[in-house]
Structure 1
Amino acid sequence: MATVSTQNLALDGAAPVYSAASPGGDRFTPSRNTFLHVVNASASPVTATLTTPGNVDGLAIPERGVTVPAGANRMVPLPPGTYRSADGLADVAWSATTSVTFAVLHAV
């Protein structure tokens, strides 16, 4: 599982750097005003599944699957209370990784 750095979006604009989705999943630091931008350049839909390690009233929070259609992209908010694990990182698993890239972006 690869750990990816969060990129700050500057007020005068940004040119984000995208990482290839790793077959074993990826990790990053979730925070307020942080988004996962997934770009699917493949010919098939792909699902990004975000691990939700917490509980509410003793009940596990269901994992969130975000489907990105073929040739499309999605921006996914990352509230830390939902996705942060005990080590402070969040995990995403991919249903496929060919032609899938992503960036973790933080709006300042």
Structure 2
Amino acid sequence: MPLLTPQAVSLAGLTPTYSAAAASTTVPCGERVFLHVKNTAASPVTVTLTSTARVRGQLAADLAVTVPATTGEKLIGPIPSELFADPTSGNCAVGYSSTTSVTVACLRI
């Protein structure tokens, strides 16, 4: 899975660079890390962050966010380690129900 590198938001401003969404990617976890997802497809897209947290031995639910069709945009985050960090890589796995006409940027404030 490709890793999306966070782009730092600064006082000077940031013009984010967006990449085409891949079927699955990873992003670093952090209280200041967000995903900005844009969808220009004719159908909504579901973005799923895979949970790795356990409560009383049971895996916590994944986070599923729907990005509306045509001109939909969603900022998703922060992405806390205690909910989403893979035990091996420390990153969060992100999946998309469709990647057609979907772009994404990883941002850090």
TM-score, normalising length: structure 1: 0.93
| Equivalent residue, structure 1, for 2:36 | 37
How far did residue 19 of structure 1 move? 1.3
Q: Which amino acid aligns with 2:82?
A: G
How far did residue 64 of structure 1 move? 0.7
Q: Does 1:83 align with 2:100?
A: no
Misfit runs of 4+, over 3 Å: none
RMSD between aligned residues: 1.0
Structure 1 unaligned regions, length at least 5: none
Structure 2 unaligned regions, length at least 5: none
Q: Which amino acid aligns with 2:33?
A: T
Deviation per residue, 1:62-108 (Å, 9 max, x gap): 0111000002100011122211111111111110000101111010x
Question: Among residues 98, 101, 104, which one is paired with 2:103 in the alignment?
Answer: 101
Overall identity of the aligned pairs, in %: 38
TM-score, normalising length: structure 2: 0.92
| Equivalent residue, structure 2, for 1:49 | 48
